[in-house]
Structure 1
Amino acid sequence: MEPTDEEVVETAAEAAEGYVLSELATSDVDDLDVTVTFEDGVLDVEVYVNAPDADADVEQVADDAALVAGQAVDDLFAE
């Protein structure tokens, strides 16, 4: 059975948020916003992270989080 649009969005959002919080200290993250849409089979994930005190490349972490979200959705459809 194919996942619902809601399941796809939840899976992507949880994966992206989980990745960001695994890469950056929660105390360094001032703001984290994950926006996910899934319409007509097209997944769009936008990740915004404001973590000025983080040692990591925050922009790269945000980009990678979007990729992780896409992979999580691919895995969901493969189940």
Structure 2
Amino acid sequence: MPTDDEVVETAAKAAEDVVFSRFDIGEIEDIDVTVTFEDGVLDVAVYVNAPDARLDEGRVADDAALAARAAVDDLFGD
């Protein structure tokens, strides 16, 4: 059984990996990945500000949050 810290770290890394795989580092003005895991409940929030990028920041943030949840599911073996 993974620890709460392992869950948070796994989710945060997965979310960041998605964001940084879609945007060039120079395009990102701000990124915030907030992950909590309390009482078995995972909460992931991703914010990306990349105003000069061609991609939809909101869509990438949503994809990053989904990837974070999937990574945690994999961590638990679901």
TM-score after normalising by structure 1: 0.96
CA distance in 1, matches of 2:53, 2:44: 22
Over the matched positions of the two proteins, sequence identity in percent amounts to 67
Q: Deviations over 1:26-78 (max 9, x none)?
A: 11001111000001111000001010011101100000100000000000111
Counterpart-to-counterpart distance in 2, 1:37 and 1:16: 13
- Local SS of the residue matching 2:68: helix
Q: TM-score, normalised by structure 2?
A: 0.97
Structure 1: unaligned runs, 5 residues or longer: none
What code does the residue aligned with 1:38 have? F
Provide runs of 4+ in structure 1 moved above 2 Å: none
Verify: 1:26 aligned to 2:25, yes or no: yes
Q: How many residues align?
A: 78
